[in-house]
Amino acid sequence: MPVRENPTKSFFLLKKNTEPEIGFTTGTCAAAASVAATRMLLTQKIVPYVTLTTPKGIKVFLEIENQSFSEECAACSVQKYSGTDPDVTNGIKIFATVRKSAGNQIVTKFQRDCLSTEFGDAFVKITGGNGVGRVTLPGLDQKVGEAAINSVPRKMILAGVKREIENFLLSQKRSAAENGKNNEKYSLFKKSFTLEVEISVPGGEEIAKQTFNPKLGIVGGISILGTSGIVEPMSEQALLDTIQVEINVRKAQGFEVLPIVPGNYGADFLQSEFGFEVETAVHCSNFVYDSLVMAKNSGFKKILFCGHLGKLVKVAGGIKNTHSKYGDHRMEIISEVARDFIPNEQFSVVFRELSACISTEQAVKILDTLDEKHQLRDKIMTEIARRIQKNMLEWTEKCIEIEVIVFTKEQGLLGVAR
């Protein structure tokens, strides 16, 4: 499949004027296509491109392809660009098809989101079509049975669709006022109506076989992903340099305690549970060991390390880099810790159940069934947090005080080691 040059290059403020280049996520592509299709459906005009501001605040300029529309339906696609380090989704076309239904004709048939506008309510249903996976196992971002379109891309799609609806209705209102009479289209859309947004990916089912989706229980296609909206180059040295810069900045700002998180989940948890500003946490990605050593060498004496169990449980087993290429071992580590707390006659059954899990959320749910008050679960999670802390202290030669917080999105706070 031919892939054109970066269509967004002029819209990115890159750290350097040379490579590496930044790409954009499948979620950004889906949102941009949804915006364009909605605009075409409402205006009945071809849309050649759209601009979109990603959750990270970077504005991207995306070309729209394969446009078609009628009075009831519009469709188009955006080609995925992965940047300097292309993955298996680089160059694929992500389609959005938007269908409308006036009144409440199909509202009761779908789970949908209600977008309130000053003109009334618009009901929007986001679905996955051909090439978009469907969730079959618990513990993932979306519920079992839902299309594998994660929460941030869904929010981006809803925000974009709402903006297009409001812009259209406002223009119709102005047109009606200028003409001194009711505009027919405006009258139609004053009533509540439904838009169904279907995301599809031609060839997505085959591409998904080269990803982790089959192991995660996502069948039939790829996932629509992205928390920041952009794909940043994955050069290890570039990432390590960025982490060091962040640590240096926090030191210069006079931070006594350095908060470190693997990614957005940890930063969001610190903000929601403890009131930390998201921007203050250093994002270490998979480089747990390297980040701790850099913090020590930069003169920090206290670290608060907060992360999702799925990442940090690997650290409890002594794994210094949590990338999957260095191994998984999550269930083995949880089982090893659990063995110290579960009676032998019960452990063999629990071990089989844990070994079959594909996510740490699932594993925690199994531990929750061991006793009514979750006391065994709490002891196991506390021990995992203690082992994480023990390894971190050894890696930093016990020169730093380290507090560890472990959580999952579903169960919340699980373990703390002070």
* 3 state DSSP class of 123: strand
pLDDT in tens, the chain (418 residues): 444 444 444 333 333 334 457 888 999 999 999 999 999 999 999 999 999 999 888 888 999 999 999 999 999 999 999 887 667 899 999 999 999 865 444 333 334 455 555 545 667 889 999 999 999 877 778 888 999 999 999 999 999 998 998 888 888 777 777 776 555 544 444 455 678 999 999 999 999 998 878 867 889 999 999 888 887 766 577 678 878 888 988 888 889 999 999 988 899 999 999 888 877 899 999 999 999 999 999 999 999 999 999 999 999 999 999 988 787 899 999 999 999 999 988 999 999 999 999 899 999 999 999 998 899 999 999 999 999 999 999 999 999 999 999 999 889 999 999 9
C-alpha to C-alpha distance for 390 and 393, rounded to whole angstroms: 5
Instruction: Report in angstroms the alpha-carbon separations of 39 from 33, 86, 113, 359.
Output: 10, 30, 19, 39
Instruction: Report in angstroms the alpha-carbon separations of 58 from 14, 205, 210, 278.
Output: 11, 30, 29, 17
* 3 state DSSP class of 396: coil
Strands 120-128 and 93-102: unpaired
C-alpha to C-alpha distance for 361 and 47, rounded to whole angstroms: 42
* 3 state DSSP class of 197: strand
Model pLDDT, residue 235: 57
Q: What is the DSSP string of 235-249?
A: -HHHHHHHHHHHHHH
Model pLDDT, residue 9: 40
Model pLDDT, residue 416: 95
Which residues neighbour 356 within 8 Å (Cβ) at sequence distance 6 or greater? none
Which ranges of 91-235 does DSSP label H, i.e. alpha helix? 151-179, 184-190, 204-208, 213-216
